[in-house]
Structure 1
Amino acid sequence: MVLEDDKKVYLIRETKSTHDADLRRRDENLKIRCGEAHFRALDAVDYRVATSVAEVLEHG
């Protein structure tokens, strides 16, 4: 959680070595799919896959 304009912003980043699903293990892709579905249902969390520190820190 971070604060932006005095509001809480929830960020979840799944850190992986690549964005290419074909280069990741099946288990890793399943975790990502489950995370996407879970946090989409909450509708209050910014969930993304990140491969660098810059991607971890960005939101929007």
Structure 2
Amino acid sequence: MTELNGGPDNVPWPEPPEPGGDPVVDSVAGGLTDLPGLPVEEHLARYTEIHDALLSALDSEDT
């Protein structure tokens, strides 16, 4: 039987996405590049920062 804590030491992360053409979104998405090096307990805070920055960018868009 496989142990619950017997996972791999390293999990391959996907390559960062190519820039999408919106400088604000590209800048915010850049915050994902160092995610693999952060402790797991810091991931939620990073995702929250990215979410809030994207939401702020959307709210400031001219309609």
The normalised TM-score by structure 2 is 0.33
More helix as a share of residues:
2
More strand as a share of residues:
1
The normalised TM-score by structure 1 is 0.34
Bigger-Rg structure (1/2):
2
More RCO (CA 8 Å, sep 6+): 1
